[in-house]
Structure 1
Amino acid sequence: MKEKLSIVKIGGNVIENTEELAVFLELFATLKGSKILVHGGGKKASEILNKMGIEPKMTGGRRITDAESLEVITMVYGGLTNKNIVAQLQAHACNAIGLSGADGNTIQAHKRPVKDIDYGFAGDVDGVNTKTISNLLKAGLTPVFCALTHDGKGQILNTNADTIASEIASGMGQLYDTTLYYCFEKKGVLLDVKDDDSVVKNINSETYQKLLDEKVIADGMLPKMENCFYALNRNVNKVCIGAITMLDEKTDLYTTITL
């Protein structure tokens, strides 16, 4: 029987809210069994870029990572944001270790090829070093990954945090009974975007197609759901989407996605 593993991804809305981040980290620290945290940090990176007089470049909600932006992103993701999270987890007796994909060669990627748009130093994941990550877990450590990978040739790459979480979960699912959690500002997938409590509690492949046809799932939720089913089709047991409160055992208002 495989040991249980929880992989949790948080985004900028949680990271930028000091009070909410504190609540989240306390909940995360109390999760039973082995766990991994994946975080973004795009809002803080954009804030610091603006302070430095560098205009963040975005297209279709995705960041264009030029060389100048990459320097700031590396400092913010791998330094400021990552180490603050690690320090706060230590305060909750969670022995965290901050990582990028370059550390321990844990996540290799390649620079996204230029097609219609040149995303600059954006990385698409090639593979996850499950042995190294598993060794960290067995040593009693909790990996905290920022949204940076590397190409194996000395180049750091900016990589979507949702994708990193999905790829780590897919790799670790070969060794562990893995559940992937996506924490964001809503309580789950909503039937009505104007009603925060209209959560669809359970989605499988069949109901997912129905929700797509009915345009319930659209826009920004589409790539998140694609990452969910990508993981489910590659060894992950289940995926949960919701607010940070879903990590509390007393809460059942979130979306669980299975095949």
Structure 2
Amino acid sequence: MTTAVSAGATVLVVDDERPLAGVIASYLAKAGFSTLQAHTGPDAVAQARLHDPDVILLDLGLPELDGIEVCRQVRTFSECYILVLTARGDEVDRLIGLSVGADDYLVKPVSNRELVARVQAVLRRPRRSVAAQTEPQRVVGALRIDPGAREVWVAGQPVALTRTEFDILDVISAQPRIALSRRQIIDSVWDAAWVGDEHVVDVHVANLRHKLDDDPAAPRYITTIRGVGYRLGRG
């Protein structure tokens, strides 16, 4: 049955195993999504550029151009949601995938039901309200955040963040000095129904810190609260 979440959304399924890609695409179509398929890295980039899908379901083990490079290239022109599929135990691939702009990952083998649920979860991510778009800029030291324009500067220099990185920074900066747990961040950025490894937040925060030139051992902006989560502000 088509849901409000899936109606009108397009998913690009990228996997070099054509029968598997076909099965996944068919299952997504039954859930109400429009689907496209690509089976090589270059084809995935070309289709993403041509069709501007809402979500890319991206296997990392692709011929000609691997999934990491596909993700890197797609991020130069698209802010679509990217969910990477990695082999069981390939933690390095997952971390690299998130570092180049993927929003989430799933570990293979994964059921079609879970695939659909995770695609629906990213599409349910909250949209900015009109009130949020008119919020004043937030300033912490040399860090300046414009919630409405979704822009960030450090010492007057613009910082390019992925959609997920900005959303996490937006959530923690909206309540400065308040420690938020990983689950609270996930509920705000993804969806309360999201199920997966909550440490995905840690990877995105690490990427954020790198881009903000924020040393976790002596943080200027994002502070780790041991046993709890993260907050904006030092001390």
Determine if the TM-score, normalized by the shorter chain, exceeds 0.5: no
| Greater relative contact order, per chain length (Cα 8 Å cut-off, separation 6+) | 1
Give the TM-score normalised by the residue count of structure 1.
0.27
Give the TM-score normalised by the residue count of structure 2.
0.28
